[in-house]
Amino acid sequence: MPDKLIIVEDNRSDNLYPLTYMRPSFELRCGATSLAEKITHAAGADSVAYFVRDWLAASYSEKTDHPVNDFDELEGDVMIVNGRLLVDGSVDLTSIGPDEVLRSGDTFVAGRIRAQTLAAGKAAAKAAQQALADPVLGLLDATYTACGPHLKIREVEATVIDYPWLLIYHNARMIESDFRRLYTNPGVHAELHPLSCVLGDAKDVYIAPSARIHPLVVIDATGGPVVIEEDALVLPHTRVDGPTYIGPKCRLVGGKIREACSFGPVCRVGGEVECTIMQGYSNKYHDGFLGHSYVCEWVNLGALTTNSDLKNDYTPVSVYYKGELMDTGAQFVGSMIGDHTKTSIGIILNTGSVIGMMSNLVFSGNLMPKFVPSFCWMLNDRPTKGIGLRGMLETARAAMARRKRVLSDADEQLMRHLHGMLKPELREAIKKAFKR
């Protein structure tokens, strides 16, 4: 095996917007862990380094102990893996031979490159560096291209996450896969209140020692494993159906947590939730339905916020993708919600909604549009600039302070960059609404 694993973003990270505005594609959650964690385990390498979009590097560097965008890491024998790869058994990374690359159609999946080949490719790429649009990913791509004549190409059928809703569709089986891999000592290790129960086999449950399970809780593992991590709290009148993953310090405040849910750390969840991933630090505290959705960090869904994930005529759901309606081919698609977005009471989200980051959806009595731009306030069914970036940043600071977190300078600069990058999108939405 190579001494070093390099996990990279490719030029299709924008396929996963709004989920990847604030994080690399490989930090998205599927199952109990991120794509990157699964890749790292499957590769079995001694060290890991990351390459991400240039404008994301400073923020992401604060969130990892591994090198980010450091070309000194491109030395020696390396394995390079596309961060959008979902390690689900379809590809064996350990089977890659020296100077061999795996491709799935037109998508680079992974490659193992020897030191001599890599050094030559890196030198050739640096000679053309001034012509590259992205100083990091462009150079990395140029390095790979320069190595191309020396690499053997092997076609494979890999699971690569091309669109956000694919994370949701693979979530149930990845919870099961992660459970078998990570929880080798299953069982109820916390004190289970005598008025609560586990349905199914105890070997399909992991409840951490510091988790607290109140009375009148049902944990049903008959349909798949259930994980409740350290310091999680499950309050009365909560039902949890497997396969489901409840992350550290989560709080379930009653309701139905149905199958195929993954909640990252410090989420507050109530009501009815099904087939949904919450990245972490987000709230759906109140009644209302959330299904087949992906919710990023620092999102707050107000009381009775509800989304549709199935059309009344049962035809495939369409979503707005890069400004155009796209047929997903899927019967169930809910909402993709970006970081720091808030909804007021009574918000109703359409089937296949895409809601950008740092937006605020205010109740009007009507169904929200299928696409809401980032940094947008929806008022009286129309997109507006709302309180502006300064006010939005203050709201973000206040929300994070409630969880004893601080908005770092790097994250603020990232938000400012994204505000500038996405301003034309909001301006166009306001213009169209005014014409209507």
Mean pLDDT of 114-131: 71
Range with the lowest mean pLDDT among 76-80, 145-149, 172-176, 283-287? 145-149
In the block, tokens 């009375």 appear at 215
Distance CA 83, CA 90 (A): 15
Q: pLDDT for 285-302, tens place per residue?
A: 999 999 999 999 999 999
Whether residue 342 contacts residue 300, with contact meaning beta carbons closer than 8 Å, is answered with yes
Mean pLDDT along residues 261-282: 98
pLDDT at 195: 97
For 85-105, what is each residue's pLDDT tens digit?
999 999 999 999 998 989 999
Yes or no: say if 115 and 146 are a contact pair by the CB < 8 Å rule.
no
How many angstroms separate the CA atoms of 143 and 380, rounded? 51
Q: Give the DSSP H or E segment for 412.
A: helix 409-435
Q: Is 436 helix (H, G, I), strand (E, B) or coil?
A: coil
Residue pLDDT, tens place only, 361-398 = 999 889 999 999 999 999 988 999 989 999 999 999 99
Model pLDDT, residue 136: 59
Q: How does DSSP classify residue 286?
A: S
322: left (phi over 0), alpha (psi -120 to 50) or beta: left
Write down the pLDDT at residue 289: 97
Q: Are 291 and 330 in contact (CB under 8 A)?
A: no
Q: What is the CA radius of gyration of the chain?
A: 22
Residue percentage of the chain with pLDDT more than 70? 94
Taking the domain 4-162, which CATH number applies? 3.90.550.10
Which tokens in the block code for residue 50?
A: 């990351």
Give the mean pLDDT of the chain. 92
Structural domain boundaries in the chain: 4-162, 165-435
- Check if the beta carbon of residue 344 is closer than 8 Å to that of residue 302: yes
CA-nearest of 311, 224, 233 to 260 is 224
Which residue, among 271, 326, 277, 314, has the nearest Cα to 299 in the 3D structure?
Answer: 277
Q: What is the pLDDT of residue 68?
A: 95
Which strand (E) or helix (H) includes residue 113?
Answer: strand 107-113
Residues 6+ apart with CB under 8 A from 232: 208, 211, 212, 246, 247, 248, 249, 250, 251, 252
CA-nearest of 305, 297, 338 to 426 is: 338
Q: How far apart are CA 419 and CA 428, in angstroms?
A: 14
**Which pLDDT score, from 0 to 100, does residue 130 have?**
47
Prediction pTM value: 0.94
Beta strand ranges found along 29-106 (DSSP E): 29-30, 33-34, 47-51, 78-82, 100-104
CATH topology of domain 165-435: UDP N-Acetylglucosamine Acyltransferase; domain 1 (2.160.10)
| Same fold yes or no, 4-162 and 165-435 | no
